[in-house]
Structure 1
Amino acid sequence: MESEKIALILIGYQNDYFSPDGILYRVVEESSKVTNVISNTVHLLECLFSTSALIVTTPIFFTPNYEELIEPIGILKTIKEVNAFQMGTLGSETIKELIPFQKRILEVPGKRGFNAFINTNLGEILQEREITEVVIAGAVTSICIDSTGRSAHEKGYHVTILSDCTSARTVFEQEFYCSNIFPLYAEVITHKELLSHLQLTVTI
């Protein structure tokens, strides 16, 4: 595995999910604490900082009246009802833990749903960089992580999902997807195992 061929895609690292006062914090709170998703992601970014790996974030934003969502159902309906991820609000901003890495992270805007490839130029960016390996981290495991992972697989990328850098709605859901769903199309490993594959020193 060569770092210049890898793209780490960060999904949902925004205050409304991961800040204690975030609107949807309770959705992933239990799973996040079990997987230590934030501290593990920070460690991963520290180790990848000086490599040639591409690091991308695909935040989700909506206008104040949610005009982008036409008759939404499921979690998108909930997002609209509770006014989450509104553009320009504190809840939509990147979590403070990732701020030190901002110069190293390429923000790809446009995400309005589950799949980070839809309504963004993520696909074009990966092609331009001749990326062959896609590594996915973030939230929510059963929704955006799964949807983006499947799409990357169908586009021909080798997909890796980090079991300790992703958060689900419940601990059971996290374990179920990592054990039964993701292995159908992706490699499921921890961030330390990824660093080992890249022959990077693993220290905490």
Structure 2
Amino acid sequence: MKPEQTALVLIGYQNDYFSSEGILHGVIEESSRVTNVVANTVHLLECLALTPALIVTTPIFFTPNYEELIEPVGILKTIKEVGAFQVGQSGSETIAEIQPFADRILEVPGKRGFNAFINTNLQEVLQQNGIKNIVLAGAVTSICIDSTGRAAREKGYQVTVLSDCTSARTVLEQGFYCNSIFALYAEVMTHIELLNALEVVVPA
């Protein structure tokens, strides 16, 4: 893997998921604690910031009346019912831990559902930067990570999912997806294994 051909796609690093006061924090709290996802992601960003790798974030936002959601079901219905990820509210903001890297992270807006390619210009951004490898980090493992990963593979990208930089609804679910689902179409690595594959020097 070459850094200049690799994009790290950050999904769901927003307060409603990862802040202790977030509306949906309880959904991924256990898995996040076990995988140490936030600290590992910060370390990954520290190491990638000085490389040519593309780093993008695909936050999800909704208007106050959730007019974007037409007869939602499942987690999107829950998001509407509890009032999560409303534009302009603190819950939709990027978590504080990765804000220091804001000048290095390209925000790709428009995400309204599971797949980060839908309703965004992510594909155009990746093509313009000559990206061949997509690395996924964030939440939720079984939903947005999986949906985006499958779409990326179908578009011809080599896909990597970071087992220690993703969060599921349960520890069991995290293990199941990393061990049994992602292996069907992607590589599964820790962030250290990714850095080694990219030949990025990891500070001692």
TM-score, normalised on structure 1? 0.99
C-alpha distance in 1 between matches for 2:2 and 2:35: 26
Runs of 4+ in 1 over 3 A off after TM superposition: none
- Comparing 194-203 with 66-75, greater Cα deviation is found at 194-203
1:75 aligns to 2:75 (yes or no): yes
CA apart distance, 1:59: 0.1
The residue number in structure 1 matching 2:159 is: 159
C-alpha distance in 1 between matches for 2:4 and 2:108: 19
* Unpaired segments ≥5 residues, structure 2: none
Alignment of 1:13-162 (within 5 A): 13-162=13-162
1:175 aligns to 2:175 (yes or no): yes
The residue number in structure 2 matching 1:186 is: 186
C-alpha distance in 1 between matches for 2:173 and 2:201: 31
Overall identity of the aligned pairs, in %: 74
CA apart distance, 1:38: 0.1
C-alpha distance in 1 between matches for 2:169 and 2:116: 19
| RMSD of aligned alpha carbons | 0.6
CA offsets, 1:15-65, max 9 Å, x none? 000000000000000000000000000000000001000000000000000
C-alpha distance in 1 between matches for 2:15 and 2:203: 27
C-alpha distance in 2 between matches for 1:136 and 1:198: 15
The residue number in structure 1 matching 2:4 is: 4
C-alpha distance in 1 between matches for 2:184 and 2:38: 26
C-alpha distance in 2 between matches for 1:125 and 1:73: 30
Read off the aligned partner of 2:175 and give its amino acid letter.
Answer: E
Read off the aligned partner of 2:37 and give its amino acid letter.
Answer: V
CA apart distance, 1:198: 1.2
Read off the aligned partner of 1:45 and give its amino acid letter.
Answer: L
C-alpha distance in 1 between matches for 2:7 and 2:151: 14
C-alpha distance in 2 between matches for 1:127 and 1:203: 31
C-alpha distance in 2 between matches for 1:143 and 1:197: 26
CA apart distance, 1:188: 0.2
C-alpha distance in 1 between matches for 2:203 and 2:14: 26
Helix, strand or coil: the match of 2:117? coil
TM-score, normalised on structure 2? 0.99
Read off the aligned partner of 2:46 and give its amino acid letter.
Answer: E
